[in-house]
Amino acid sequence: MSEPVALKLTAKDFKSDQEVRWCPGCGDYAILAAVQQFMPELNIPRENIVFVSGIGCSSRFPYYMNTYGMHSIHGRAPAIATGLSVSRPDLSVWVVTGDGDALSIGGNHLIHALRRNVNLKILLFNNRIYGLTKGQYSPTSEVGKITKSTPAGSADAPFNPLSLALGAEATFVGRTIDSDRKHLQSVLRAAAEHEGSAFVEIYQNCNIFNDGAFDQLKEPGIRDDHLIRLEHGQPITFGKDGQFCVVHPPGGFGLEVRDTAATPAEEIVVHDATVADPAYAFALSRLPGFDLRNTPIGVFRSVRRPSYDSVVQAQVADAKAKVTETPEQQLADLLGSGDTWTIVG
Amino acid sequence: MTKQIRQLDRVVIRFAGDSGDGMQLTGDRFTSETAQLGNDISTLPNFPAEIRAPAGTLPGVSSFQVHFADYDILTPGDAPNVLVAMNPAALKANLADLPRGADIIVNTDEFTRRNLAKVGYASSPLDDDTLDGYAVHPVALTSMTIGALAELDVSKKDAERAKNMFALGLLSWMYSRPYSSTLRFLERKFAKRPELVAANVAAFKAGWNFGETTEDFAVRYEVKPAKMPPGTYRNITGNAALSLGLVAAGVRSGLPVFLGAYPITPASDILHELSKHKRFGVTTMQAEDEIAAIGAALGASYGGALGITTTSGPGVALKGETISLAVALELPLVIVDVQRAGPSTGMPTKTEQADLNMALFGRHGEAPVAVIAPKSPSDCFHAALEAARIALTYRTPVILLSDNYVANGSEPWLLPDVESLPDLRVEFATAPNGEDGTTFLPYLRDPQTLARPWAVPGTPGLEHRIGGLEKADKTGDISYDPANHDFMVRTRAARIEAIDVPDLEVEDPDGDARVLVLGWGSTYGPIGAACRALRQRGLPVAQAHLRHLAPMPANLGTVLASYDRVVIPEMNLGQLAHVIRARYLVDAIGYNQVRGLPFTAAELETMLEEVLKNV
């Protein structure tokens, strides 16, 4: 084995020559900059990194990354990336998607990629609105959302993306925010290190059609009382002065927020992302309401399970290892297998 | 008792029974024995979509027809000479296809009042005049099988289930078939249950001995081996041949093969077969749906594999958007459509050729792809290689239009020499191709093939982005330029037209035909048989068969113009005829049926004779 060589790449190396064409002020710019700045950390040659996207504002992402990339069709990026990842385990494959792309038209592919545990890093930019089609409600919009397509308010209940991913037993689930570069990069780092599917929801502001959707999580003075910063191995407390905490009430199924002062220290839940039962991370994902109070960010779940890619590759490798003939000889044997007869001329 | 032995040149046998009676297996084994003898063969399985339809009913009837001869034949035969009917439903469902004088072997044990009532027989056709004019052989198949196995340690149910082997033994005796391969087959099939090997072998032998001793069967038949080109043969179905063709394409290209598929009748057998060949570097993925199946295949192609997806018509409809993406990305992709009767779920186990329009035109935007169709079960092997050749050489999606008739039918296949198969090696892009020596232009084309470079991820210095948005010529950058879009649309069309396709060959032995019969896909056999029959009667007729439907052979227009009339038989309502009329301004005569079954040679002969009269 050769020792890894430091590639000494910089954020600039990951910027493509294409003009970025998101609306000025879009949260996507911040995510792009954070990703480009983070990429050198991977120490993976650019040619071995692929970004695959679907359709939507966020799905323009691959054009701006100086790696290999494919801007595919609506909702299908996880399926396309699965074929690529399974057949090319040497690559680092990233999927960039949005709430409409991943949870509406492409919902099936997302849950199946996650259940299979394909070795993909899936970044879901959630702005709770359809941006590229100019402002219809999305599968993560709150009930009653008034948009061009729902002038009387939307009637359907939204998906909670993390709950959905955990229902599919995703092995890595995290959440971060476009405006917090340091936190965003810390979640990307953990996702990149994970073998198998890593699902990261990124709250992203659409300043044109759904501006301020996540303001409570961003504004100084307010955000600390809303955000729960999950740290593996640490008791879950939050609030400006740590005045809130998360407990698992006896007899209940879920988790609840309490006043820290009134709670014995031993009752405060210590965050453990490696709990095998997805029910714990699911309970975390249910803490916030639509007012964004009690919103956990960070790594909810990170457990080990063989990736689909590795199992499929091993089956092929095992079968090939038993072969002693040339492919042509093997093929001749295969064609002539079964009941044959010979006619002599 | 010494039996009379009579020589025949050809025989058509139809085995028919309940879908749980094992008729497909019985037919398969009889076919295999017949192949061993060196007869030419063609088979036609016909079964319901239901796995076990209610027992004894007409919808539950499953049949297998085998045609064998001492000369080369093209179809599974129009009308059976022999019907094996395992119950009243099987008799009723098939009787109309039998010419008077045909032999009917019936399992009398199943002709109970209840079973007769199930299919609406007021009295037993064995007792009334229903079967007048037929040579009926009543055989108590079930009770004789149970009797023959009385000494063996098997349940009554297992003994009863072996009755198909009794029938096979009897027919094998009647037609002097070598049976050692069947005994070996039974040993393999029931390797884990030796008592069932013994039971099935005993049932087979009891059937054979019954034929030899009973006076009801006074004549035994022989069909001599056919004169076929020397070489090694095996009997093969279209789905099996197509699968082997895809494996061969992997070997001959040196590329890993990736199949993304979602189970669908009648294409699933290709997924089953390819999943067995991992040692060739074949990866199969049973995807969550049809769209994921083609998406994964396209992703694998992007990564440098030969990406394949297999399906039937409803699946192709779902894959349409991804095929268009592959057109825009200009990546190799093979889409296999084993056509079945539609629309919608239609008749999933019955054949049809009604996806031609969809293959040629069924996408949004101007999205041309290559389309080819195999003409017979064994031809599926070569058609699969041809599909891979076009996909890899021209970096394009190719739709391979098989159908249920060739997919499940079988015929002897002269095994090809592996070294003689086409060389499908490809060159990946490895270095910048821009004039400055440092730029990579992902849409700079090969002047000959108009194919763009295949630069797979992992290649240093060629990092680039592709996508469904319109691309600027050469650079592949996003472009909304009107002139560029017009140019790119025309170039993608020209790329398909530039595909090197062999000239259409015409079979017109005496060169004096004034009528041309043009076909495509699985109608080759019935059309060929009809043309032969007409020529034998001194009526000249020419036959040409299209393998390439997009692009069409360059000489097609000239061929069409050389005949007074062009007749196009299709198992659809005239889809090829429509294209031929539009492209070549030829007033082609369509002959169309969509019964879910192949044409009979006789109906085509009758129809063509009428056309010939009026020329």
Residue with tokens 């001194």: B538
Instruction: Give me the mean pLDDT over the B299-309 stretch.
Output: 98
CB contacts of A32 in chain B (<8 Å) are none
Among B337, B286, B427, CA closest to A83: B286
A79/B258 CB distance under 8 A = no
Whether domain B4-223 has CATH 3.40.920.10: the reply is: yes
How are beta strands B465-467 and B410-414 bridged, if at all? unpaired
Instruction: Give me the mean pLDDT over the B238-263 stretch.
Output: 98
Name residue B295's amino acid. G
| Closest CB from A79, A327, A343 relative to B280 | A327
Residue from B465, B466, B469 to probe the interface with A (highest A Cβ count within 10 Å): B465
Say if residue A1's pLDDT is above 60: no
A48/B292 CB distance under 8 A = no
Per-residue pLDDT reduced to its tens digit, B14-50: 999 998 899 999 999 999 999 989 999 999 999 888 8
Q: Which residue of B has its CA nearest to A344?
A: B230
A65 in contact with B, Cβ within 8 Å: yes
Domains of chain B by residue range: 4-223, 234-420, 506-613
Per-residue pLDDT reduced to its tens digit, B121-134: 999 999 999 999 99
Domains of chain A by residue range: 11-213+305-309
Q: Tell me the whole-structure pTM to 2 decimals.
A: 0.95
> In the structure encoding, which two tokens stand for residue B584, read together?
């070549």
| Closest CB from A16, A79, A340 relative to B233 | A340
Which helix or strand (DSSP H or E) is residue B40 part of?
Answer: strand B40-46
Cα distance between residue A180 and residue A202, in whole Å: 10
CB contacts of A331 in chain B (<8 Å) are 247-248, 251, 280, 418
CB contacts of B479 in chain A (<8 Å) are none
Specify whether the CB–CB gap between B63 and B94 falls below 8 A. Answer: yes
Give the contacts of A44 (CB within 8 A, at least 6 positions apart).
A7, A92
Specify whether the CB–CB gap between B69 and B25 falls below 8 A. Answer: no
A73 in contact with B, Cβ within 8 Å: yes
Cα distance between residue B152 and residue B221, in whole Å: 32
CB contacts of A63 in chain B (<8 Å) are 465, 467, 478
How are beta strands B397-403 and B370-372 bridged, if at all? parallel
Q: Using CB atoms within 10 Å of the CB of residue B262, give its burial: 0 to 12 exposed, 13 to 18 middle, 19+ buried.
A: buried
- Count CB-CB contacts under 10 A for residue B135: 14
Say if residue B494's pLDDT is above 90: yes
Q: Which residue of B has its CA nearest to A48?
A: B458
Say if residue A95's pLDDT is above 60: yes
CB contacts of A340 in chain B (<8 Å) are 232-234, 415
Instruction: Give me the mean pLDDT over the B505-522 stretch.
Output: 97
CB contacts of B419 in chain A (<8 Å) are 328
How are beta strands B231-237 and A49-53 bridged, if at all? unpaired
Q: How far is A61 from chain B (nearest CA, A)?
A: 10
> For B506-613, CATH number?
3.40.50.920
CA angle B510, B516, B521 (to 5 degrees): 115
CB contacts of A76 in chain B (<8 Å) are 291-292, 295, 322
Q: Which residue of B has its CA nearest to A343?
A: B230
Specify whether the CB–CB gap between B415 and B443 falls below 8 A. Answer: no
Can the peptide bond before residue B266 be classed as cis, meaning omega within 30 degrees of 0?
A: yes
Residue from A19, A20, A57, A70 to probe the interface with B (highest B Cβ count within 10 Å): A70
Burial A312-331 (b: 16+ CB within 10 A, else e): bbeebeebeeeeeeebeebb
Per-residue pLDDT reduced to its tens digit, B44-103: 999 888 877 889 999 999 999 999 999 999 999 999 999 999 999 999 999 999 999 999
Q: How confident is the model at residue A289 (pLDDT cuts 50, 70, 90)?
A: confident
Cα distance between residue A122 and residue B612, in whole Å: 66
Specify whether the CB–CB gap between B35 and A339 falls below 8 A. Answer: yes
Specify whether the CB–CB gap between B600 and B78 falls below 8 A. Answer: yes
Q: How far is B75 from chain A (nearest CA, A)?
A: 21
Cα distance between residue B386 and residue B249, in whole Å: 9
Give the contacts of A298 (CB within 8 A, at least 6 positions apart).
A174, A175, A176, A183, A186, A187, A229, A230, A231
Which helix or strand (DSSP H or E) is residue A27 part of?
Answer: helix A27-38
Q: Which residue of A has its CA nearest to B247?
A: A331
> In the structure encoding, which two tokens stand for residue A62, read together?
């691959």
CA distances from residue B343 to A47, B295, B584 in whole angstroms, order as listed: 45, 24, 29
Cα distance between residue B45 and residue B508, in whole Å: 31
Cα distance between residue B266 and residue B348, in whole Å: 7
CA distances from residue B32 to A183, B80, B180 in whole angstroms, order as listed: 68, 19, 10
- Residue A324's Cβ-side half-sphere holds a number of Cα atoms within 13 Å equal to 0
Per-residue pLDDT reduced to its tens digit, A182-232: 999 999 999 999 999 999 999 999 999 999 999 999 999 899 999 999 999
Q: Using CB atoms within 10 Å of the CB of residue B126, give its burial: 0 to 12 exposed, 13 to 18 middle, 19+ buried.
A: middle
Whole-number pLDDT of residue A291:
86
Which A residues in the span 287-326 are in contact with B, Cβ-Cβ below 8 Å? 312, 315-316, 318-320, 322-323
Among B519, B597, B245, CA closest to B356: B519
Which A residues in the span 255-294 are in contact with B, Cβ-Cβ below 8 Å? none
Per-residue pLDDT reduced to its tens digit, A127-158: 999 999 999 999 999 999 999 999 999 999 99
Q: How confident is the model at residue A290 (pLDDT cuts 50, 70, 90)?
A: confident
CB contacts of A88 in chain B (<8 Å) are 303-304, 456-458
Question: For chain B, how are helix, strand and coil distributed in percent, rounded to 5?
Answer: 40, 20, 40
A9 in contact with B, Cβ within 8 Å: no
Cα distance between residue B407 and residue B267, in whole Å: 8
| Closest CB from B234, B303, B322 relative to A84 | B303
Cα distance between residue B284 and residue B268, in whole Å: 12
Cα distance between residue A168 and residue A160, in whole Å: 13
Cα distance between residue B176 and residue B184, in whole Å: 18
Query: Residue B221 in 3-state DSSP?
Result: strand
CA distances from residue B254 to A136, A220, B377, B447 in whole angstroms, order as listed: 48, 60, 25, 25
CB contacts of B298 in chain A (<8 Å) are 80, 83
> In the structure encoding, which two tokens stand for residue B162, read together?
């072996």
Question: For chain A, how are helix, strand and coil distributed in percent, rounded to 5?
Answer: 35, 20, 45
| Closest CB from B233, B248, B260 relative to A331 | B248
- Count CB-CB contacts under 10 A for residue A267: 14
Query: Residue A70 in 3-state DSSP?
Result: strand
Say if residue B599's pLDDT is above 80: yes
> For A11-213+305-309, CATH number?
3.40.50.970
Q: What is the largest CA-CA distance in chain B?
A: 92
Q: Which residue of A has its CA nearest to B419?
A: A328
- Count CB-CB contacts under 10 A for residue B463: 22
- Count CB-CB contacts under 10 A for residue B425: 10
Cα distance between residue B489 and residue B481, in whole Å: 12
Whole-number pLDDT of residue B139:
97
Instruction: Give me the mean pLDDT over the A102-111 stretch.
Output: 98
Q: Using CB atoms within 10 Å of the CB of residue B601, give its burial: 0 to 12 exposed, 13 to 18 middle, 19+ buried.
A: buried
According to DSSP, residue B259 is labeled: E
CB contacts of A320 in chain B (<8 Å) are 278-279, 281
CA distances from residue A74 to A54, A77, A81 in whole angstroms, order as listed: 5, 8, 13
CB contacts of B303 in chain A (<8 Å) are 83-84, 87-88, 91
Mean pLDDT of chain B: 96
Backbone angles phi, psi at A245, to 5 degrees: -145, 165
According to DSSP, residue B110 is labeled: G
Topology of B234-420 in CATH? Rossmann fold (3.40.50)
Cα distance between residue B330 and residue B324, in whole Å: 10
**Terminal CA-to-CA distance of chain A, rounded, Å?**
57
Q: What is the largest CA-CA distance in chain A?
A: 97
Give the contacts of A13 (CB within 8 A, at least 6 positions apart).
A39, A40, A46, A66
A83/B458 CB distance under 8 A = no
CB contacts of A89 in chain B (<8 Å) are none
DSSP H helical segments within B191-332, as ranges? 194-213, 238-253, 268-274, 290-302, 313-329
**How much of chain B exceeds pLDDT 90, in percent?**
96
Which helix or strand (DSSP H or E) is residue B163 part of?
Answer: helix B163-174
Name residue A151's amino acid. P
Q: How confident is the model at residue B321 (pLDDT cuts 50, 70, 90)?
A: very high
Q: How far is B258 from chain A (nearest CA, A)?
A: 7
According to DSSP, residue A101 is labeled: I
Q: Which residue of A has its CA nearest to B232?
A: A342
| Closest CB from A85, A328, A341 relative to B418 | A328
Cα distance between residue B403 and residue B337, in whole Å: 7
Instruction: Give me the mean pLDDT over the B289-305 stretch.
Output: 98
Per-residue pLDDT reduced to its tens digit, B539-574: 999 999 999 999 999 999 999 999 999 999 999 999
* Same fold: B234-420 with B506-613: yes
Instruction: Give me the mean pLDDT over the B139-153 stretch.
Output: 96
| Closest CB from A46, A50, A71 relative to B468 | A71
| Closest CB from B283, B299, B415 relative to A316 | B283
Q: Which residue of A has its CA nearest to B242?
A: A335
B466/A71 CB distance under 8 A = yes
Backbone angles phi, psi at B400, to 5 degrees: -105, 110
Q: Which residue of A has its CA nearest to B297?
A: A83
Per-residue pLDDT reduced to its tens digit, B476-492: 999 999 999 999 999 99
Residue from A61, A87, A312, A313 to probe the interface with B (highest B Cβ count within 10 Å): A87
Query: Residue A136 in 3-state DSSP?
Result: coil
Give the contacts of A3 (CB within 8 A, at least 6 positions apart).
none
